[in-house]
Amino acid sequence: MALRAWAETAALTSAALLVTLVVFGGLVAARGLDPVAVYATLYVGAFGTWFSLEDTLTQAAPLMLTALATAIPARAGLLVIGGEGALVVGGVATVLAGVLLAGAPPAVAIGLMCGAGALAGGLWIAAAGALRHWRGVNETISTLLLNYIAVAVLNWLVSSPIRDFDQVLKAASWPVGEAFMLGDIPGTGIHWGLAFGVAACLVAWGLLRATTFGFAVDILGGNLRAAQMVGLPVGRLVLATCFLGGAAAGLAGALEVAAVHGFASASLVVGYGYAGILAAFLARQHPLGCIAVAVLLGGISASGGLLQRRFGLPDAATLVLQGILFVAVLATHTLHGRLRAGRAA
């Protein structure tokens, strides 16, 4: 049964990939380029060399975490699209924690900074969960609105209250300081965020699959009435899944600050949150699937530079490719379960 489900997912995903390659190949051919050569270059730019693989995995790290922001609440039947906002408030909280902790031992400080980021992101989405449970406010809409509110608060904070006036070129927050920066995984050019991302997906998978909490969440996601009838604490489950999802995205923000930028600024708002929603849907809300999808999407983004240099393709070509892929994969969702049912009959 599980094997059949895996085979079905693999078959449908391959079909969607094939359709994507044909459609995008047509677009590329319309420019007079050879699609096969473009795809070969895309592969090299994404996975072909150690250097490109490093770039791919670096881009994949935040996507794994923002994908969880949608995937975990989805298991409880909620559609949360607030990863972008949770990432932003997580980044801001990390900066504040880093500045407050100035002088503390780096290992402790970095731990607390990441904790602060995760906590802030978690509370941000948990607020939407609370509104959902006690006020009936739709969580999709509220988290979408919260994204904009988070970005506005970030812009306001870095425009004066926490602005680093030594940076003249753009508005950025106080720096957390070189000592509090999370370095690279030894021997690689990949920062530690990748380890956090993979670990978070594994923990989420274990939690949802092997604990009574995960079992309760699955019942709630399957049927709200049934969950109420058997006396599950629906409110607490909604809050907990929202908090965990938001915490993952908040951690992504913390890592963008502590491992990439060293400060909070508009560079946190680059669409990782929105890409994460699609990554979650591509992974069919499965935490381990999020890892694979994030690496695939990271690879497509990472190859953009090489495609531009080699073929003169606009850098938006990778956006188009991802967009086609998303539509194709979402369309295959209609066939999930049917292939299996057909075989069983």
Partner 1 sequence: MTPPPDLGWAGVLVALVGGAIRVSTPYLFVSLGETLTERSGRVNLGLEGTLVLGAMSAYGVAYLSGSPWLGVLVAGLAGALLGLLHASVCNLPRVNDIAVGIALFLLGTGLAFYLGKPFIEPRAPRLPSLALGAWSGSPQVRAALEVNALFLAGAVLAPLLWWALRGTRWGLILRTAGDNADAARALGHSVGLTRVLATMAGGFLAGVGGSFLSLYYPGTWNEGLSSGQGLMAIALVIFARWNPLACFGVSLLFGAATALGPALQSVGITAYYDLLNAAPYGLTLALLIWSSSTRHALVGAPGELTISK
Closer by beta carbon to partner 1, 185 or else 224: 224
131 vs 134: CA distance, rounded Å? 6
Nearest distance in Å: CB 319, partner 1: 3
- Taking each continuous run of H as one helix and of E as one strand, the counts in the chain are 15, 0
Closer by beta carbon to partner 1, 212 or else 334: 334
Closer by beta carbon to partner 1, 44 or else 144: 144
3-state class of 263 per DSSP?
Answer: coil
CA distances from 328 to 13, 184, 295, 321, 323 (A): 9, 36, 18, 11, 9
Beta-bridge partner residues of 265: 172
Nearest distance in Å: CB 2, partner 1: 20
Amino acid at 1: M
306: Cα separation from own chain's centroid: 24
Nearest distance in Å: CB 68, partner 1: 16
* Strand ranges inside the chain, DSSP E: none
Q: Which of 149, 146, 153 is nearest to 81 (CA)?
A: 146
Q: What phi and psi, each to the nearest 5 degrees, are found at residue 191?
A: -75, 170
Nearest distance in Å: CB 73, partner 1: 13
Nearest distance in Å: CB 109, partner 1: 29
Closer by beta carbon to partner 1, 27 or else 185: 27
Closer by beta carbon to partner 1, 238 or else 259: 238
Sites of contact with partner 1 (CB under 8 A)? 27, 79, 81, 131, 133-138, 140-142, 144-146, 148-149, 151-153, 155-156, 159-160, 274-275, 277-278, 281, 314-324, 326-327, 330-331, 333-334, 336
